[in-house]
């Protein structure tokens, strides 16, 4: 009974095995992308597949070499029957060493075509790895900008809370001095509590975004809060014209790794179709053998040695249609790959086209939202002293503060949308790998 192979010793990483400590103290988007490319386990899988495809290519290259075998046999013989039909007590050993080689001289170029197909498999594996990197970087950007937006919501709601808390403190003092009504104080307390609720919701979104980001980095136990650099300067949001659709499509044709994967798959299938066709050809092989045989000793005289050399040609005249079926299978698989390439290209065109109006609208909204925030803050700052002087009603101050919150939130949203849309466009064209 064959021995049972040992079970795989699977070591799951724990907090002590994590690479989270290797992260820098301050992590910006580029550093997060670099960490994801280094630690994400999905990329380890695609790297292993590249090594597997590379090994198969080396194996395919060995089919050109002859096969050389060395062997030896020792046969013990006893109780040999005699001509008088009874057994003798004769016993002896026969020693027979041998050295053989076999080499396929011609097989209709099936080996060359098979090696070419395997080389294309390797190219496809490399493209799969690059496409996994493309999708990973796009996902990291999405998680990052989700965290940015949640952090901005936290900042805005904190500012709103502080504003209402300050006015609440003033109102309580005035209520105690009987200079204001308790209703005004309750108004600011209610608005402060609403701001606290909004902060809790934003904080929850922030925590979830950081959790997703840590998983994408391949460091799910990493504590990212407090070490991410979310500062976004206006220099990151230039009002620049985006390339035209034709230029973007040209970039995608050259840089989308999934297109390259399908092209390599098509080339491999075409080579396998040709190899299946070549298998119908005759095969010519050379073989040779050197051997010897000696009785009761491992020494050989000249007359105990022998050698042979042969040329063998074989041709399968009838296989029940198996070889033609192999050709037809490869041809059909090739047609499937062609359709997949066409479908993928249509998807890519759609991905790119969808991002262009999003970017265009976000750029226009960005300018307007910046102006709106400045106006809303000026209006709020003007109304507050007017309300204190009794010129403006409390409802007008509430309205001005709400307008400021909405304007700041809209600005934060459009900033994140613009950065995310540009990242999505780079992901769609494949240039995110640059």
Mean pLDDT by 10 residues, the chain (434 residues): 55 51 78 90 92 91 87 78 58 82 84 89 94 95 91 89 87 80 86 93 93 90 78 61 88 94 93 88 88 75 78 86 89 94 95 93 90 92 88 86 89 89 93 90
Q: Are residues 408 and 115 in contact, defined by beta-carbon separation less than 8 angstroms?
A: no
Q: What is the distance, to the nearest Å, from the Cα of residue 369 to the centroid of all Cα atoms in its chain? A: 36
What is the residue whose two structure tokens read 């999708």? 135
Phi then psi for residue 193, to 5 deg, are -65, -40
- Which sign, positive or negative, has the C-alpha torsion 369, 375, 378, 382? negative
User: How far apart, in whole angstroms, are the C-alpha atoms of residue 129 and residue 123?
Assistant: 10
Q: Which domains does the chain have, with CATH numbers?
A: 36-65+107-147+207-224+231-280+322-433 (1.20.1600.10), 69-81+89-106+285-315 (no CATH)
Burial class (CB in 10 A: 0-12, 13-18, 19+), 14: exposed
Nearest to 133 by CA among 20, 259, 262, 257: 257
User: How far apart, in whole angstroms, are the C-alpha atoms of residue 115 and residue 280?
Assistant: 18
DSSP 20: G
Phi-psi region of 390 (alpha: psi -120 to 50; beta: other; left: phi over 0): left
pLDDT at 17: 46
pLDDT at 182: 85
What is the residue whose two structure tokens read 């949001």? 237
DSSP 143: H
């Amino acid at each position: 009974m064959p021995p049972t192979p040992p079970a795989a010793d699977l070591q799951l990483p724990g907090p002590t095995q994590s690479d989270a400590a290797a992260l820098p103290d301050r992590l910006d988007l580029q550093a997060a992308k670099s960490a994801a490319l280094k630690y994400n386990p999905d990329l380890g899988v695609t790297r292993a597949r590249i090594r597997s495809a590379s090994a198969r290519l080396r194996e395919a290259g060995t089919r050109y070499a002859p096969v050389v075998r060395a062997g030896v046999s020792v046969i013990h013989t006893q109780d040999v029957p005699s001509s008088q039909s009874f057994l003798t007590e004769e016993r002896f050993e026969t020693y027979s060493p041998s050295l053989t080689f076999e080499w396929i001289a011609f097989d209709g170029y099936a080996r060359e075509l098979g090696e070419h197909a395997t080389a294309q498999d390797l190219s496809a594996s490399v493209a799969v790895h690059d496409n996994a990197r493309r999708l990973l970087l796009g996902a990291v950007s999405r998680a990052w900008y989700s965290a940015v937006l949640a952090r901005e919501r936290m900042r805005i709601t904190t500012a709103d809370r502080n504003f209402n808390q300050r006015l609440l403190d003033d109102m309580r003092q005035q209520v105690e001095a009987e200079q204001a009504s308790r209703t005004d104080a309750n108004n600011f307390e209610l608005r402060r509590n609403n701001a606290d609720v909004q902060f809790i919701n934003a904080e929850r979104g922030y925590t979830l975004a950081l959790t997703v980001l840590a998983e994408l980095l391949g460091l799910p136990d990493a504590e990212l809060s407090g070490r991410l650099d979310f500062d976004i300067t206006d220099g990151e949001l230039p009002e620049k014209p985006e390339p035209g659709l034709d230029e973007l499509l040209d970039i995608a044709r050259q840089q989308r790794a999934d297109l390259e994967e399908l092209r390599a798959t098509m080339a491999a299938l075409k080579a396998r179709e040709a190899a299946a066709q070549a298998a119908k050809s005759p095969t010519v092989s050379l073989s040779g053998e050197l051997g010897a045989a000696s009785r009761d000793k491992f020494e050989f005289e000249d007359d105990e040695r022998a050698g042979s050399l042969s040329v063998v040609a074989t041709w399968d005249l009838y296989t029940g249609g198996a070889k033609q079926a192999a050709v037809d299978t490869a041809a059909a698989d090739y047609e499937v790959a062609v359709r997949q390439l066409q479908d993928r290209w249509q998807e890519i065109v759609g991905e790119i086209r969808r991002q262009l109006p999003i970017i265009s609208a976000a750029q226009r909204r960005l300018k307007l939202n910046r102006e709106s925030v400045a106006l809303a803050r000026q209006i709020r700052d003007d109304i507050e002293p007017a309300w204190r002087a009794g010129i403006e009603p409390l409802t007008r101050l509430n309205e001005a503060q709400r307008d400021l919150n909405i304007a700041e939130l809209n600005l934060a949203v459009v900033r994140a949308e613009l950065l995310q849309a540009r990242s999505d466009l780079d992901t769609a064209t494949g240039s995110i790998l640059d």
